Amino acid sequence: TQHLGMMKHISDQVLVMHNGEVVERGSTADVLASPLHDLTRRLIAGHFGEALTADAWRKDGK
């Protein structure tokens, strides 16, 4: 899904793909709090307005 708001509530694991290739995978909490790939960071920033930090993730109750 590209709906990250929903994804963070319903999935434990996430896989980010670009052009059919996996560019990042991990627990949803880890990937959202500390994205490693530039594409993941851009997707998060585009959806949430800025990249979530580990502190922001905890404040969200997860």
pTM for the complete prediction?
0.71
**Would you list the domain boundaries of the chain?**
4-59
Write down the pLDDT at residue 31. 92
Task: Give CA–CA dist 51/53, Å, rounded.
Answer: 6
The percentage of the chain sitting over the pLDDT mark of 90, rounded to a whole number, equals 47
Helix (H) / strand (E) containing 9: helix 4-10
pLDDT above 90: residue 26? yes
The percentage of the chain sitting over the pLDDT mark of 70, rounded to a whole number, equals 77
Task: Give CA–CA dist 62/57, Å, rounded.
Answer: 6
**Taking the CA of residue 26 as centre, how many other CA atoms within 13 Å lie in the half-sphere pointing to its CB?**
12
